[in-house]
Amino acid sequence: MIKAVLLGTGGMMPLKDRALSSLLVSWNGHSALIDCGEGTQVQIRGTGMSFKAIDLLLLTHYHADHVSGLPGLLLSVGNQGRTEPMIIAGPPGLERVVNGLRVIAPELPFPIELKTLSARDTDSLSLFGMTITSFPLQHGIPCLGYRLHLPRAGKFDPARARENGVPLPCWSVLQKQPETVYSGVRYTRDQVMGPPRRGLTIVYATDTRPVPAIAEMAEDADLLVAEAMYGDPEKGESAQQKGHMLMHEAAALARQARPRRLWLTHYSPAMPDPETWLEQTRAIFPATELGTDGLTADLAYIDESDAAPS
Amino acid sequence: MIKAVLLGTGGMMPLKDRALSSLLVSWNGHSALIDCGEGTQVQIRGTGMSFKAIDLLLLTHYHADHVSGLPGLLLSVGNQGRTEPMIIAGPPGLERVVNGLRVIAPELPFPIELKTLSARDTDSLSLFGMTITSFPLQHGIPCLGYRLHLPRAGKFDPARARENGVPLPCWSVLQKQPETVYSGVRYTRDQVMGPPRRGLTIVYATDTRPVPAIAEMAEDADLLVAEAMYGDPEKGESAQQKGHMLMHEAAALARQARPRRLWLTHYSPAMPDPETWLEQTRAIFPATELGTDGLTADLAYIDESDAAPS
């Protein structure tokens, strides 16, 4: 299961009632935060979730509204007593940006590992069972989208175990560990398990023009979080100039990709009422939801009841 | 007249309902901001006051909760179209800190002038009629208090003008400009004006132990804004170790200095209810007010009605 909390939904500048866009994703006691603008730490505090559990910070790009909260976040994580390394990943320029901002957070009780991701191709990270794929967006400066995928192992398959001649006492052992030895013979997990089942996938894409990669990455995802800087279709030219996306463009990508849910975010401060445009966006993609600060999803594996027999 | 707005009252970390400590001071269309933690720009937006008018940023020290909002502030000032220089002043280390944080705000439509102030002695700046004096505090790292003084010219004095033989047609001219020439003779303002009158003074002192300089600077001030990290007198040891001040210590300084008002600020996140300690603080200094986010004072010259005859 994955818990996803949309911590903020604003673009450009933090407002009193609309924090800057970022997403906190948690699974199995671990967390990844995508972007960290000014005020993100306040939003995290509001969820009651742990700072200490933030293993990974994924930065989309280095405009201030996506990264200015970094020093405060690091200090808050440190205050909660983290000692394990934290990984910070982002497009090229990462080291310069993190080192610059750390001028006011030089001493931390945990090490930081920087992972610079490609600005031109997909790139990937694997962490605590989560596979993270970054992909280039189109925003004027290097900017990355992220696909977070939690794979799910296959179901235990007794017919397969029998076919492979795995002795009965090894069956339950191999559901818990990758291999075992019995009467001097080595048996492996893949000899008793069926093919991997559908996992859980979240895709996050701001700030960007609507590029095909977003639809490709979000295909059959459980949740697509996408930028919707403006609702008004007449803002097309402005969006194009500034490298942003309109609500109807995000919905059109979702219509192609067919994620189970679409959350819109990163609203312009000049758009106080995104609801104005919701109906016509849902006409394009019915499962569209307007992101609001604190919007939460508990994503569960489909058919959670089909657990393997023990 | 000076308008002073306490933008936030928290120390260490921003909370949902308690922004980080900072003070916005405005006079004659100009503004000075003291400290700029994460979220300060949101608080400024809440006052409806101008970002563009911020001529001066005074930094007390470089702990993150006092300066982390700098990049966002600079961008917001730029968004409002400022082109005049902004002065940023603070203790030694200023250039390193500002340059570090500007990694995410490299391009601004206005120049920045840095003024590094002494960490050991008083230092001063004069800007748009305001005299600013910095003075060293005691906080473990270099930390400055600030005294902002708006002087007030003397009243027009006809007896003095006559004594100095200033011709009648020069009287009103010299109330508006420093000098004039009449029948080939040069006359100056000081020949027609009485001695300077009481101006307006604000003193700001966080984060610090209660040092005598605070009481000296705040003598007869209109407003003293002072740190009150904890109310509980039993927190004395912790305050001493961390270089902070208790509510009763701030009140004792005020009892010496006799400012017209005392605002307490920079509360610990571990002190949700400063009211608990108000009564016993007022027993020491009756004009104590608990700072709250947005607390505002319009400080007027005493006896505003005694304007010079024109």
What are the catalytic residues of B? Answer: 65
Contacts of A164 (CB under 8 A, 6+ apart): A187, A191, A192
A13 half-sphere exposure, CB direction, 13 A CA radius: 27
Determine the Cα–Cα distance for residues A278 and A30; give it in Å rounded to an integer: 34
Percent of chain B with pLDDT over 90: 96
Mean pLDDT, rounded, for A263-268: 98
Flag if B14 and A65 touch (Cβ within 8 Å).
Answer: no
Please tell me which residue of chain A has the smallest CA distance to B95.
A103
Beta-carbon-side half-sphere exposure of residue A290 (alpha carbons within 13 Å)? 18
d(CA A208, CA A228) in angstroms, rounded, equals 10
CB within 8 Å of A32: residues ≥ 6 apart: A24, A25, A26, A54, A55, A56, A57, A58, A127, A130, A132, A148
Scanning chain B, the segments in alpha helix (DSSP H) are 40-47, 64-67, 70-79, 94-101, 158-163, 168-176, 212-217, 236-242, 247-257, 278-282
* Rounded Cα–Cα distance for residues A66 and B174 (Å): 55
In a domain, A77, yes or no: yes
**B111 within domain boundaries:** yes
A65 is catalytic: yes
The predicted-structure confidence for B55-92, as pLDDT tens digits, reads as follows 999 999 999 999 999 999 999 999 999 999 999 999 99
| A14 interfacial to chain B (CB closer than 8 Å) | yes
Chain B residues with beta carbon closer than 8 angstroms to that of A39? 14, 38-39, 42
Q: What tokens does A56 get?
A: 């990974």
Domain count, chain A: 1
For residue B38, the chain A residues in CB contact (below 8 A) are: 38-39, 41-42, 68-69, 72
> Which pairing describes strands B197-205 and B144-152: parallel, antiparallel, or unpaired?
antiparallel
Distance from CA of B202 to the nearest CA of A (A): 28
Q: What is the mean pLDDT of residues A242-258?
A: 97
Interface test with B, best of A104, A107, A143, A242 (most B CBs within 10 A): A104
pTM: 0.92
pLDDT the model gives residue A307: 46
Task: With CA atoms as reference, report the closest residue to B24 among B62, B58, B68, B67.
Answer: B58
Q: Which of A38, A79, A96 sits opposite B69 (nearest CB)?
A: A38
Is beta strand A30-34 parallel, antiparallel or unpaired with respect to B22-27?
Answer: unpaired
The tens digit of pLDDT for each residue in A74-86 reads 999 999 999 999 9
The pLDDT tens digits for A87-137 are 999 999 999 999 999 999 999 999 999 999 999 999 999 999 999 999 999
**Stretch A192-219: mean pLDDT:** 96
Among B43, B99, B82, which Cα is nearest to B265's?
B43
- Nearest Cα neighbor of B147 from B90, B221, B86, B209 is B221
- Is A11 part of a structural domain of the chain? yes
| CA distance, residue A170 to nearest chain B CA (Å) | 53
Q: Which of residues 49-78 of B touch A (CB under 8 A)?
A: 62-65, 67-69, 71-72, 75-76
A304 pLDDT band, cuts 50/70/90, is low
Q: Which of B68, B75, B80, B96 should be substituted to probe chain A, the one whose Cβ sees the most A Cβ atoms within 10 Å? A: B68
Size of interface A-B (CB pairs under 8 A): 97
Strand A130-136 and strand B112-116: the pairing is unpaired
Query: Mutating which of A15, A41, A42 best tests the B interface, going by the most B Cβ atoms within 10 A?
Result: A42
Residue B191 domain-assigned (yes or no)? no
pLDDT, averaged across chain B: 95
Residues of chain A found within 8 Å of residue B14, distances taken between Cβ atoms: 39, 41-42, 72
Q: Residue A245 has what pLDDT?
A: 97
State mean pLDDT over B274-279.
97
* Measured distance CA(B119)–CA(A124) in Å, rounded: 48
Contacts of A260 (CB under 8 A, 6+ apart): A221, A222, A223, A287
Classify residue A72: in a domain, yes or no: yes
Q: Is the pLDDT of residue A208 over 80?
A: yes
Residue B169: inside a domain:
no
Query: What 3 state SS string does A118-157 have?
Result: CCCCCEEEEECCEEEEEEECCCCCCCEEEEEEEEECCCEC
Alpha helix ranges (H) inside B54-210: 64-67, 70-79, 94-101, 158-163, 168-176
In the chain, the amino acid numbered B114 is L
Q: Give the pLDDT of residue A112.
A: 98
CA-angle at A201, arms to A195 and A203, nearest 5°: 150
Residues B5-32: tens digit of each pLDDT: 999 999 999 999 999 999 999 999 999 9
Distance from CA of B101 to the nearest CA of A (A): 5
Count of H helices and E strands in chain A? 9, 16
In a domain, A254, yes or no: yes
Structural domain boundaries enclosing A57: 2-153+196-299
Identify the band that residue A309 occupies on the pLDDT scale cut at 50, 70 and 90: very low
How many Å apart are CA B130 and CA B32, to the nearest integer?
10
SS3 A247: helix
pLDDT tens string B127-143: 999 999 999 999 999 99
Triad B233, B239, B245: Cα angle to 5°: 80
- Give the CA distances from residue B149 to residues B127, B203, B208, in Å, rounded to whole numbers and listed in that order: 10, 9, 21
Residue of A nearest to B69 (CA): A38
- Report how many helices (DSSP H) and strands (DSSP E) chain B contains, helices first: 10, 16
CA atoms of A310 and B20, how far apart (whole Å): 54
- pLDDT band, very low/low/confident/very high, at B283 (cuts 50, 70, 90): very high
Task: Give the CA radius of gyration of chain B.
Answer: 21
**Are the beta carbons of A39 and B38 closer than 8 angstroms?**
yes
Question: Which is the catalytic residue, given A35, A55, A65, A222?
Answer: A65
Percent of chain A with pLDDT over 70: 98
Helix boundaries (H) for B80-111: 94-101
The CATH code of the domain that includes A56 is 3.60.15.10
CB atoms B72 and A103 under 8 Å: no
User: What confidence score (pLDDT) does residue A308 get?
Assistant: 45
For residue B112, count CB atoms less than 10 angstroms from its CB and return exposed for 0-12, middle for 13-18, buried for 19 or more.
middle
Q: Which position has the token pair 């705040």?
A: B218
CA-to-CA separations, B215 to A41, B83, B150, B257, in angstroms, rounded? 36, 38, 19, 5
Under an 8 A CB cutoff, do A101 and B100 touch? yes
Consecutive H or E run containing A174? helix A168-176
Calculate the dihedral angle through the C-alpha atoms of B247, B251, B254, B260, rounding to the nearest 10 degrees.
90
Interchain proximity A64–B75, CB inside 8 Å:
yes
Is residue A237 over pLDDT 90? yes
Residue A286 lies in a domain: yes
**Taking each helix axis from N to C terminus, what angle separates B70-79 and B40-47, rounded to the nearest 10 degrees?**
40
pLDDT at A221 over 90: yes
pLDDT of residue A302: 85
CA-nearest residue of chain A to B36? Answer: A38
pLDDT of B308 > 70? The answer is no
Does residue A254 have a pLDDT over 70?
A: yes
Phi then psi for residue B117, to 5 deg, are -100, 155
Of B68, B76, B96, the CB nearest to A71: B68
Q: Note the pLDDT of residue B304.
A: 53
Closest CA to A55 of A23, A80, A81, A88: A88
How high is the mean pLDDT of chain A?
95
Q: What is the pLDDT of residues A8-55, one digit of tens each?
A: 999 999 999 999 999 999 999 999 999 999 999 999 999 999 999 999
